[in-house]
Every structure is written in C-alpha cells, then in structure tokens.
Amino acid sequence: MSETVIVDYGMANLRSVQKAFEQVGHSATITGDPKHVAAAGKVVLPGVGAFRDAVARMRDTGLADAVRRHIDAGRPFLGICLGMQMLFARDHEDGLHEGMGVFGGDVVRFPDVVGLKVPHMGWNTLRFARPGCPLFAGLPADPAVYFVHSYYPQPTAREIVAAEADYPTPFCAAVWKDNVFATQFHPEKSQRIGLHMLRNFASL
C-alpha cells in the first residue's frame, strides 16, 4: 500500500490519529513538509480549533496548495473535523473567512436552541445518505460515532453528502466525492466503528 501522511500544521492531536492507523496495522507518517504531502499516496488532514487560524497556517506554510495538488492528482484524501470544514468555501466563525474551496458551501454554527448544548460533544448515530461510499464499506446500519464541534458544513452540492446525524435537526456529518472523503466526527475516537473506517481508507 502507498504511504499515508498526516498533515501537521500545528493544530491537531496528530498522534491519536497516527495511533489509530497503527491499531489497524497501517503506518502513517506525520509531516509538515508540503512536498511530502503533495507526493504522498494518501493524505489525512485532521484538526481542532479555530477555522481562521487553521486556514492561515495552511496557506502560510504552503500546505494548502500541497493538499490541493494531492487531491487534484486523484489520490485518496481524508479530512477530519476541522480538516473537513477547511475544504469548504466559507466559514462563519467570528466573522466570514475564506476556506480552501475544494467544495462549495458554508461552515455554520449550530443554532441557539433552548436545551441544545453547543459544542455538540459525544456519541451520535450516523445515517448514510448515499450507497457505496468506500469509507463506510462493511459497516452496520446506523453506527454510532464521536463528535466534538460547534460548527458544521452546509455543502452547496447536496450530492456530496455521504452521511448525516441529528442535533436536533439533520446536519452534514460526512462528505464524499471521488477520491475525497471527510468526516465531521472523529474516527480515531469512535472505537471499533472508527477504526473500521480508517482501515477502509488505508486499503484504498
């Protein structure tokens, strides 16, 4: 299998993602070198924190361009949490900020609803929106996965939505288009179900 790299731009618990890949018998290298990212067989972009700071670091280091080159070359890519959100055109956290523009759409905050805790934190059930997503191959219906987020993407193209969850209304929990996969939840924190997804990705 070709090399998997985890993008280091200073805003993620990279070791937890690396350890999860090791648990499924697949090595993954952590790197902040844009050339290494652009040339990798598979790329994983995790992330936690503020969208504006993350995108700025990605651009300043050349990693944003490297990720785009990797994606445009048709090689497998997986975005996790903030790594998913940065793929979209715009984000509304503390103002309006431009994303990487891989997908059209906005990243928005959960609404202020009485009794709704934000951030959304904990286990929630996925509802698969499209059949045939390689990331979800072999999973049972309605699997539970782990979320920690206050914002989520609203894709312009509805057809890229691969899975939804409810909080309290449906929101986009995963996207898939060609070689690009991204999850709002954390596979590396989702125990057996999440490890199964990472194994699927590693075997692409």
Q: Which residues are identified as catalytic?
A: 81, 186, 188
In one letter, which amino acid is 150? S
* Beta strands at 144-149 and 77-80: parallel, antiparallel or unpaired: unpaired
Can you list the alpha helix ranges (DSSP code H) found in 30-173? 34-39, 51-60, 63-72, 82-85
The CB-based long-range contact list for 173-177 (8 Å cut-off, 24+ gap) reads 173/124, 173/126, 173/145, 173/147, 174/84, 174/126, 174/133, 174/135, 175/84, 175/87, 175/103, 176/130, 176/133, 176/134, 176/135, 177/103
The whole-angstrom separation of Cα 123 and Cα 111 is: 19
The whole-angstrom separation of Cα 7 and Cα 20 is: 15
**Furthest-apart CA atoms within the chain: distance in Å:** 49
